[in-house]
Amino acid sequence: MASTLIKNGLVIDPSQNINQTADILIVDGLISAIGSLSDSVADHTIDASGLVVSPGLVDMHVHLRDPGFTYKEDILSGCEAAAAGGVTSVAAMPNTHPTTDSPEVIKYILDKAESAKARVYPVASISHDLSGENLTDFEALKNCGAIAVSDDGKPVKNAYMMQQALEKAFKANIPVISHCEDMDIIQNGIMHEGEISKKLGVSGMHRSSEDSITAREIALAQATNTAIHIAHVSTKGSTEMIHDAKLRGIKVTAETCPHYFCLTHNELLKKDADYRMNPPLREYLDTKAVLKGIADGTFDCIVTDHAPHSPEEKSDFSKAPNGIVGLETSLAVCLTELVDKNIISLEKLIELMSVNPARILGIEGGTLKIGSKADIAIIDCNKFWTVDPKRFHSKSRNSAFKGKTLKGKVIYTLLGGEIVFQHAD
Ligand code: DOR
Ligand code: ZN
C-alpha cells in the first residue's frame, strides 16, 4: 500500500463545507482520512504549512488539439499544462481532426490520456464534422465515454437543429454546451466592434452576435425543458439574460473565462493576435457585468477555453486564428483579480473552478470526500510570479497574460495521489 500524508495545510473543500487547518492521508491513490493525523506514518509526507489544499481543479472547456493539430498541443502536453495550473480534470472540446464525432476518436483520446497528467473527458460534437447538419449519435458517444456534446468553435447555426439536439440530449441524459456566436453577424470581424476596432480600421464582432444566440439557447432550453450550458460568456447582455433565465427557473448554467473579467478591447491596440479570441475581449461595462455575475451566482464555473495556436499562426495580427492558452495562468489570475480584490472568497473560487464543473458534467472530482480519488491542488496564495510563456508546459505560447505579475502559485498537483506537478523556482 502506498501512502502520502499532506500535513498542516488549510484544507478548503466546499463540497463538504471544510475550511480548516488539517492533515490529509492518501492511501493507494484515494483520500483515506482528513483531520488531525500527526500520529499517522506514511511513505511520503508533503509539508503544506502556509499553503491551501483544495480539490484539483476541473476545467470544462479545453482544446487539446489531438488528434489532428498536435503541432499546437497534444493530449500529453495539454495535460502537463493542466497539472502546472492545478487542474486535474479537463473536458476536451471536439474541434479536432478528425472531429470527435465517432466512437473511434473517443477511444483514441481516452487511450492516449491513460498516461497523461490529468483526467481527460471527451466532449463529442453535436453535428458530424461540426457541419451543423447531421446530429451525431449521442447515446453511442456517451456509451463510449463522451461526457457532453458541443459544436464549440461555432454555434449550431440552425435553431431547429439545436432544438432537436436538446431533445436528443434529454433522452440520452448528456449535457449540452453551446458556443453562442452568430457567424452571420460576425462576418469577417476579428475583434469586438467598438471604438478600438474603428480606430484600428478593422471589422468588428458586435455584441449582438453573442447575445442573439444566448437568447435563442435560453428559449430553446425553456421550450424543451432541457438543461443547457452557455460557454465562455463575454457580454453584459448575455450575463443579464442568464441571470434572468435562472430566476425564471430555466435550466441554464454558464461559464466565463479569466480574460473576460480583467481584460478589455484596449489590449488590441497592441495589434498582437495573442489578444484575439472568440468571443472577443469586450469593454469595461462588460467586464464589470461579468464580475457582478461571478459574485452574484449567475456564473457556475470559470474555465480557460485553453486554445493553443503556434507562434507562426499567431504572428499576423489580422489573419491569425482566434484563441489563447490559459491552463497555466487561470487559477493565479482568479486569485489575483477575484480573491485578492475581495470580489469572492477563496471557497467560492474553488466552487467555480472545481466543485460546480464536476457537478454539471456529472464526473468525479471536485471533492476531497473520503474514498474519492486523491486529485488535489496545493496552492501558495501569497506567492508572486510573472507569467513567462517560454516556461509554459503547453506547446503553445499565445497567452494574453504574458508579462503580468500574479499573486498565487500552484506548488503541487496530485493526480490519484501521485505528484504530477511540483513547483521549482
Ligand atoms: O477563441 C477561440 N478559439 N474560441 C473558440 O471557441 C474556439 C477556439 C479554438 O478552437 O481555437
Ligand atoms: Zn467556444
From 62, 72, 95, 259, give the residue whose CB has the most ligand 1 atoms within 8 Å, as the site to mutate.
95
277 Cα: distance to centroid of ligand 2 (angstroms) = 9
pLDDT band (50, 70, 90) for residue 425: confident
307 Cα: distance to centroid of ligand 2 (angstroms) = 9
Question: Which parts of 90-203 fold into alpha helices (H)?
Answer: 103-113, 138-143, 159-172, 183-186, 195-200
pLDDT band (50, 70, 90) for residue 38: confident
The C-alpha cell of 321 is what?
A: 486564428
Q: What is the mean pLDDT of the chain?
A: 98
With a cut of 80, say whether residue 43 has pLDDT above it.
Answer: yes
With a cut of 80, say whether residue 219 has pLDDT above it.
Answer: yes
d(CA 306, CA 304): 5
User: According to the CATH classification, is domain 3-53+373-422 in 2.30.40.10?
Assistant: yes
Sheet holding 57-62, edge to edge: 57-62, 87-92, 119-124, 148-150, 176-178, 228-230, 252-256, 301-302
288 Cα: distance to centroid of ligand 1 (angstroms) = 23
Q: Phi and psi of 361, rounded to 5°? A: -85, -15
d(CA 395, CA 145): 26
pLDDT for 289-310, tens place per residue? 999 999 999 999 999 999 999 9
Q: Is 305 a catalytic residue?
A: yes
User: Hey, where are the domains in the chain?
Assistant: 3-53+373-422, 57-361
d(CA 406, CA 330): 10
What pLDDT sits at residue 1? 77
Nearest CA to ligand 1 atom 2: 323
Nearest CA to ligand 1 atom 6: 153
Nearest CA to ligand 1 atom 7: 153
Provide the whole-model pTM: 0.98
Angle, vertex CA 274, rays to CA 387 and CA 196, nearest 5:
120
- Any idea which ligand is nearest the CA of 61? 2
Identified catalytic residue from 305, 316, 375, 388: 305
Which residues on adjacent β-strands are paired with residue 256?
A: 302
d(CA 60, CA 330): 13
pLDDT for 164-210, tens place per residue? 999 999 999 999 999 999 999 999 999 999 999 999 999 999 999 99
314 Cα: distance to centroid of ligand 1 (angstroms) = 13
Closest approach atom of ligand 1 to CA 321: 11
The residues lining ligand 1, judged by C-beta closer than 6 Å to any ligand atom, are: 63, 95, 152-153, 179, 277-278, 305, 307, 321-323
Nearest CA to ligand 1 atom 4: 278
Going by their DSSP bridges, the two strands 176-178 and 148-150 should be labelled as: parallel
Domain 57-361's class?
Answer: alpha beta
